[in-house]
Each structure stands twice: as C-alpha cells, then as structure tokens.
A and B are shown apart, each in its own frame.
Chain A
Amino acid sequence: GSSGVILSPEEATTLQTALVLLKHEQKFTSVQYWGKIFGINNDYYIAIGIGNDEMYDRKYLYIKDCMNWGDLPILPKEAQEQARLAKGRFSGDPSNEFEHILIKQLPGEGDEIHEEEETVIIKEEDRLTTIINDISHEAFIVPRSAYIRTPTGMISKNRTFEGLSVTECTKLGQFLHFREATELPKKSLIDRANLDKSLDFLDSLEEDVPKGSWSMQFDRGCGVTLLKSLLWPGYVFYHVPHTSSFGSVYYGIGEKNIDLPFML
C-alpha cells in the first residue's frame, strides 16, 4: 500500500473469484497472486499455482481481463536467452511480436569480418514467461525458516513458523531467495557446517550483487518490514514481525534495471 500500488476494488473482487475458480479447475494445492505487469494498452495479472512441492511444482498463469486464464509456456534455455533480448514495453497483447536485430560478425573471406543482420522475432508470450521466470529467480524472497526441506527432499511450509523478530528483520541474511540454491555450494565447508540443513537450503540475500540492491524499510515504526528490489523495480516483499504473515508482489513494467550500478 505505501509503495504506491493498489488493486482497485473492482480488480480485487474479480481477481478473487478468478483465483478461486482457477484453483478448483487445475487442482492446485494453493494459488497465489504473483503480481501485475503493465503494458501499454493492457495489463497482465499473473498468478502462481502451486502443487505439492512448493518450489518445484509451480506453474504460472496470466489473465488480462480478470476472466480467462492463459497458461504460460515453459521455454527451453536458448529461447529464454533470445527472449531477454527484446527491449521496450509490453504492449498488452500476448500475440504481439517483437523484432530484435542481431548483428552477427562472422569471419568472412580472408581477413574481412562479414557482418550479418539477423532479425529475431520474439513473441510477447515468450517474453512474458521469461521475465516472470527471471523475476522469480532473482527477486522472489521468503523469510528464513518459513519453508523447510523435509527429510524426503520435498519443500513445504513450516507450520511452526512464528515470524522473525524485529532485530532479525534488519538483517538481510534472514531473507532467502526462493529458488534452486546456486550460491550455497560455493561457500566454504566451514561455513556450511554451521548451517541448518533443513532451513538453510536457499541462498541468502547477503550474497546479492551489487551490494545494496535491496532497499529495506520499516513501515509504521517497525510494524511491517518492507523489502524492495532495486534490480527489478516494482517488486515488494513484506513481513510482519512476530507473526507468520509475509508475502510479495510484483507491480511493474517488467524490465530489469540494468542501470543499477550507476544509481547507487
């Protein structure tokens, strides 16, 4: 609310009904509202359907009119790379196509370097998927000990999670990225020995480069902790200390802030 994003009453009611229906139709364990991506003509509302395993069994869906959900395709890696090249705003029409001109330099005859222009066409839907995956990969965070890795390897919610204390909330290390741990294996063995295997299986925010890419604020004194991502402006995470309520939402134009190192 204080970051300037709000669902209008109409949006909220229609989304609520749509989400409930979605959960029923697709038999998800739970459904979450992920956020909204602004397009020029139309906006996309995105939801996540979660199956049994919280981390791996996720599926993203989007709707435009708060009525009909559309599946977002799962793309292979090369297609994702290409989709990241598209620049400019989303238009709001999923069948819209972006053109991106790739200039390839191929060694031609002798010493000449022959430049070829290749036009790559990227569909808006693909780009949407890629952006959502990227944002979830780089920005989606949860408090430490909110999720547990059970002995069977599944990741599920910790029902005894009672929230972080106020002092714990001020430390970035208490918040973890909700994704496949990429940084953990790089830590030295000494560090890892002190970690708790069931709680610390995710990367913490302290490792994020560049330092300072998260802005932490308290609202109402220390009533609510807000963490805003500066790499993906528009992503907001909140947590009420000493309670188990936390959540996050993305409200933005769906573009990474590449200028971040200049801006800090």
Chain B
Amino acid sequence: MNGTAEPDVVPEAAADAGSPVVPAVGDNATNGLVNVSEQKYQDAKAFMLQSSTQSGLNLYDHLAELLSNILSKRPGNIVDYFEELSKNVKKERAKASEDYIYDRPEKPNEIANAELETTLFKATDEEMDVAMDDDDAQSPVPNIIELGSHFQSAGMSISTEETYRIYFALKTLADTHPLQTVRFWGKILGLEKNYVIAEVEYREGEEEEDDEEQGDEDKEEDENPEDADDEGEEDELPKSTYKPPPVILKEEKGSGANRKSYFVCNEPGKEWVKLPPVTPEQIASARLIKKYFTGRLDALVVSYPPFPGNETNYLRAQIARISAGTQISPLGFYQFDEEEEEEEGEARENFIENPEFEGVSARELCDSSLGNWVHHVQHILPQGRCSWFNPSQKGDEEFEDEEDEDEKEEPDEPEPEVGPPLLTPISEDAEINGVPPWSVKLSHKFAREIAVAVVRSNLWPGAVAVAKDKMFENLYIGWGHKYSSENYSPPPPPPVMTEHASGPDITEVDDPTVEEEAALRAAQQEALEEEGGEEMEEEEEDD
C-alpha cells in the first residue's frame, strides 16, 4: 500500500464520523475474485480511516505519519520502543496547532541573570585602566580563585564558575564601601534562594552609623509607658510584679561577636545587603531553635520560643555562632600583641598577624592531636556575648564586694560566665555525643607533595579549613545548623501560672441577708444604747 498518496483521495468520502464507506456497488458486480480482495482492501482501509470519537484522528493517518517518520529518521532498534514513537507522533500533532499562539518567547530568568552578571564584568573593566598604574594599592579582596582551587582539592567547595562570579562581586563590594579587608565567608543554603556571605572589616573610623536610628526608636518607646502611668494613677490597679529580664547590652561594633560586619547577597551580581549587628538575645534564642532559611531576608522566623527578629537577624546570629565555633588558623599565625597591657579579669581580645610566621607544613597540620590549630574567634558565652556583662549594672571593681551590699529583691547574683580564652588549640574542644569535634586529613592521598591539610568540623557540618605552609583559609557551605545526633525538641512552654492565693479579701462571700443585717443593726443599737440613748434616736429618724 502506498503510504502517502492515498489519504487525499479517500478521506473525502469518509468524512462522516463513524460510518464506514460502502464501496460503489458497481465494482462488486462486474469483476469476480479480484473484487473480493479489492473489497477487503477497501473495507480494511475504510476501517482504518474511521475517525476516533475521542480525538478526531484516524488510524490510517496516524500509521502513515508514523511510518514516514521512522523511514526518514531510521533510528536503531525501533521495535523496542515503538509505542513511545507512536505516542510522540500523537503529541506532536496535537501541539502543531498551537504554534501561532505565542510569538514572543518567554524571557526566562536566565537572561535576566546573565544581564546582571555582565554588569559585574563591566565594572572591573573600567578599573583595569586605573589600577594598572597603581601597583602599590593593595586590593582588600584576597585571591579567592587560588583559594578556591585549594578547597576544591579538599572536596568541599563551589564550582570554579561561581568562584569567579563571587570574586567579581566581592570586588564591587570593596569599591563601593571603604573596607579594609574583605573575605568570602561562605554560603548558606536556603529553601528558595541561597545566601553568599562576605565578611568585612571597615577601615578605622569609616564605618557607617546606622545604630542611631535604633536609639531613637528606643526613646520613643520609653515615652509611651509614662503616659500610661499617668492614667493609671487615677484608678489604682494592682501593680504587676513582673519585671522583664534585664536587657543584656549588645557588644559594641568591633569587639566580641560584632567584631566583623557581614554583607549578604542572594547571587553574585545582585546587591549586597549589610547585616545588622547581633544582640546577645538573638544568639541565645538562635541556640534554642532550628529553622531552615528561606532565602528572603525579610521572612519572619516563626518559632517557639519566639525569635526576636526576622530572618536577617537569625542569619546574623547563626553566622556569629558558626564563626565562633569553626574559624581556626594554624598555631602561630596570629599572636597577641605584646604591647598591650593585660587587665585583670578581662580576656585578651586583640591579636595581630605574626610577621615571623614561618609556616607549618601540611603534615604537621594533619597531626591527629589537633594541637596545631587554634581558634581565632572568641567563644560566645551562654549569655550571648563574648565578654561577660553583669546585668545588675555594677562596676567591675565591685565584683568582689557583692556579698556585703544591700540589694533589692533580686535573686542570687548571676555568676560570671567564662569561656575558653582566645587562641586555644582546637584539641581542647569538647566532644559532642561521643563524636570528636573535628576530622582532619590530607587532601591528596597519592600526591602528598601538593597536598593541603583539610580540617572538617563535625559540629557544624559544612565548615572546613585548609592550610599549607603560610596559607590558610576557612569556609562554610551548608544549611546553617549545628549537628546533633539526638532529636531536636523545642523547649516546653512555661508552667501554667498559679492562681492568686485565696485570702479573705478576694474570696467571694454571699451578701448578708436582710435578717442578718437587721440582727447586726440591732446588736449595734444595743451597744450604743449603753453609751447614750438620744443620739441613737436622732440617727434613726435621719435614716
């Protein structure tokens, strides 16, 4: 049978849906045997031309198209997936009619993103001319492309493409703000979008002051309670004995948990947003909850206990915790500044790079006793700060005299919290649930000369540090949560408040009945009659 020529002729005759065409009677009558097979052929063909009641297609056309498809493409082993091809042909026929609906292709996000990224590359082009003259100018951005290759050999990094994009993004950041150092801190994954985080240090004196706005807000809030008090005086309500827990002052910029500032962006090329400094309350709350980041900075963090702030603050708190727990450097790279005087009771906070650092070989760094690595970020106390803040607001000198002094109804004086001092080796880190806090090994098993030492944190999965000789770097890539082999269970709600103790002034008592009142009055009259009768009678008349 010819596959292609026939359909033109016969479908006109078979246009009525459902009814097979009866061939012209004339053919039947004239020729004998030949016509039987001819008629069978016509029957068969008519049957195949029957339009389906569902889709309006008919088998004949479909087979024709399918076979012509196969013959033109001639793929191998067709018989195995013949059904698939058949389906595809059907699908394409259905689609063909829709072609003229949209002319304009959708502008996918890919294009928008690519446009953003070209702006990244353009910015650096202009600099090239200027920077060429000024070889002495130190770029605050470290060479993260080189560092990236070290992390790649450690097996925990981001792709080279993305490293390049982040490098350019960091450069634009450094150009728009007066920064002393910029470092790629890492990447925190979120549900909808991820965060790329840069850790920066401002040049001295140049940091923007956005805290003043917060100070004004506090003042406004203070004024309102005063108005409420004025109204309260007219109608004395019992004063509540609730005192909110004392506010622990957050640490100043440049010290403790706020030592460095952080900028985030969702993707390299997008705008960098500065994260506000973190308060101790936020850190303490962040320790109690475990929530995924959505990727939107303004998202609310719905949790119990309620987190003071939105996702921006939660992100900042987690960054602070991760930095405190996992930022490490080889022993000797940093040292305390010996010119500073050490005050009693205060931990040393400042350190500088050791100019005489000779470098530690990768082998020594892989020593399983982990004595060659130290933390260079201060540990955060349970209070949420790095240095102890006494909420009852006494001066430091009075610490030892507290037993003698008079106090208000405060409970026992909270004990000062102490954390491990700066630059302690990581071998002192506590185990958690029987799991050692760090795993260390060489990056290359078979090429030891170029290997770097890789230290992975088991407490914060995703935190990694690499070092070799004079180079070292820390990085975090992960979801932003601490590891615990036990389940997380939220803290239980506080116990139900007890009722007010029952006493005579608030227990309900029935009002005295008339008889009781009369009896009482009679008793009173008797008592007064003993003293003097006439006054009583006058009173009775007045009533």
Residue numbers of A with Cβ under 8 A of B are 1-11, 14, 38, 40-41, 65-66, 87-89, 148, 150-151, 158-160, 166, 198, 212, 215, 217-218, 220-223, 228, 230, 233, 252-253, 255, 258-259, 262-264
Q: Which residues from chain A contact B486 at a C-beta distance below 8 Å? A: 87
Contacts A259-B488, A262-B291 aside, 16 further interface pairs with beta carbons under 8 A come to A1-B161, A4-B477, A5-B156, A6-B157, A10-B445, A10-B447, A38-B461, A88-B433, A88-B434, A148-B81, A160-B85, A198-B83, A220-B110, A228-B189, A262-B488, A263-B292
- Which of B111-119, B244-252, B413-421, B496-504 forms contacts with chain A? B111-119
Q: Is the CB of B290 within 8 A of A262?
A: yes
Q: Is the CB of A4 within 8 A of B156?
A: yes
- Which of B9-17, B191-199, B507-515 forms contacts with chain A? B191-199
Q: Is the CB of A221 within 8 A of B111?
A: yes
Q: Given contacts A1-B162, A6-B158, A148-B84, are A263 and B290 in contact (CB under 8 A)?
A: yes
Q: B109 at interface (Cβ–Cβ under 8 A)? A: yes
Q: Given contacts A221-B112, A259-B487, are A6 and B81 in contact (CB under 8 A)?
A: no
A sample of 12 cross-chain residue pairs with beta-carbon separation below 8 angstroms, ordered by A number, consists of A1-B159, A4-B189, A10-B444, A14-B446, A66-B445, A215-B191, A217-B193, A221-B108, A252-B461, A253-B461, A263-B290, A264-B291
Q: Is the CB of B108 within 8 A of A89?
A: no
Q: Is the CB of B153 within 8 A of A10?
A: yes
Q: B178 at interface (Cβ–Cβ under 8 A)? A: no
In the complex, residue of chain A having the shortest beta-carbon distance to the beta carbon of B162: A2
Q: Is the CB of A259 within 8 A of B111?
A: no
In the complex, residue of chain A having the shortest beta-carbon distance to the beta carbon of B187: A4
In the complex, residue of chain B having the shortest beta-carbon distance to the beta carbon of A157: B81
Q: Is the CB of A11 within 8 A of B290?
A: no
Bound complex: CA of A7 vs CA of B85, how far in Å?
38
In the complex, residue of chain B having the shortest beta-carbon distance to the beta carbon of A223: B110
Please give the distance in Å from B387's CB to the nearest CB on chain A.
32
Q: Which residues from chain B contact A220 at a C-beta distance below 8 Å? A: 110, 113-114
Bound complex: CA of A263 vs CA of B382, how far in Å?
23
Q: Which residues from chain A contact B461 at a C-beta distance below 8 Å? A: 38, 252-253
Residue from the list A159, A218, A228, A262 in contact with B84, Cβ < 8 A? A159
Measured as residues with beta carbon below 8 angstroms from the partner, the interface class of chain B is 35 or more
Interface hits, B473-490 → A, CB 8 Å: 477-479, 481, 483, 485-488, 490
Bound complex: CA of A148 vs CA of B85, how far in Å?
12
Q: Which residues from chain A contact B481 at a C-beta distance below 8 Å? A: 263
Q: Is the CB of A259 within 8 A of B458?
A: no
Q: Is the CB of A4 within 8 A of B153?
A: no
Q: Is the CB of B84 within 8 A of A6?
A: no
Q: Is the CB of A160 within 8 A of B88?
A: yes
Bound complex: CA of A236 vs CA of B192, how far in Å?
14
Residue from the list B157, B439, B479 in contact with A40, Cβ < 8 A? B439
Q: Which residues from chain B contact A252 at a C-beta distance below 8 Å? A: 461
Residue from the list B75, B109, B435, B487 in contact with A218, Cβ < 8 A? B109
Bound complex: CA of A10 vs CA of B443, how far in Å?
9
Q: Which residues from chain B contact A148 at a C-beta distance below 8 Å? A: 81, 84
Bound complex: CA of A230 vs CA of B192, how far in Å?
12
Q: Which residues from chain B contact A159 at a C-beta distance below 8 Å? A: 75, 81, 84
Total residue contacts A-B, CB cutoff 8 A:
127
Q: B152 at interface (Cβ–Cβ under 8 A)? A: yes
Q: Is the CB of B192 within 8 A of A217?
A: yes
Interface hits, B269-315 → A, CB 8 Å: 289-292
Please give the distance in Å from B352's CB to the nearest CB on chain A.
32
Q: Which residues from chain B contact A258 at a C-beta distance below 8 Å? A: 487-488
Q: Is the CB of B109 within 8 A of A221?
A: yes
Q: Is the CB of A40 within 8 A of B155?
A: no
Most buried by A among B84, B152, B445, B483: B84
Bound complex: CA of A3 vs CA of B481, how far in Å?
15
Bound complex: CA of A38 vs CA of B456, how far in Å?
10
Q: Is the CB of B84 within 8 A of A7?
A: no
Interface hits, B426-472 → A, CB 8 Å: 433-436, 439, 443-447, 456, 458, 461-462
Please give the distance in Å from B315's CB to the nearest CB on chain A.
15
Q: B386 at interface (Cβ–Cβ under 8 A)? A: no
Q: Which residues from chain A contact B85 at a C-beta distance below 8 Å? A: 160
Most buried by B among A2, A6, A222: A6
Bound complex: CA of A198 vs CA of B86, how far in Å?
13
Q: Which residues from chain A contact B445 at a C-beta distance below 8 Å? A: 10, 65-66
Digit string of B370-396 for contact with A (CB within 8 Å is 1, else 0)?
A: 000000000000000000000000000
Q: B257 at interface (Cβ–Cβ under 8 A)? A: no
Bound complex: CA of A189 vs CA of B342, how far in Å?
79
Bound complex: CA of A215 vs CA of B188, how far in Å?
14
Q: Given contacts A151-B83, A160-B84, A160-B88, are A4 and B152 in contact (CB under 8 A)?
A: no
Q: Is the CB of A215 within 8 A of B109?
A: no
Most buried by A among B110, B113, B190: B110
Q: Is the CB of B152 within 8 A of A221?
A: no
Q: Which residues from chain B contact A263 at a C-beta distance below 8 Å? A: 290-292, 481
Q: B154 at interface (Cβ–Cβ under 8 A)? A: yes
Residue from the list B81, B106, B154, B456 in contact with A8, Cβ < 8 A? B154
Bound complex: CA of A41 vs CA of B442, how far in Å?
12
Please give the distance in Å from B91's CB to the nearest CB on chain A.
10
Q: Is the CB of B194 within 8 A of A217?
A: yes
Please give the distance in Å from A116's CB to the nearest CB on chain B.
23
Please give the distance in Å from A89's CB to the nearest CB on chain B.
5
Q: Which residues from chain A contact B162 at a C-beta distance below 8 Å? A: 1-2
Q: Which residues from chain A contact B88 at a C-beta distance below 8 Å? A: 160
Residue from the list A14, A40, A198 in contact with B435, Cβ < 8 A? A40
Bound complex: CA of A9 vs CA of B444, how far in Å?
9
In the complex, residue of chain A having the shortest beta-carbon distance to the beta carbon of B148: A6
Q: Which residues from chain B contact A1 at a C-beta distance below 8 Å? A: 158-159, 161-162
In the complex, residue of chain A having the shortest beta-carbon distance to the beta carbon of B450: A10
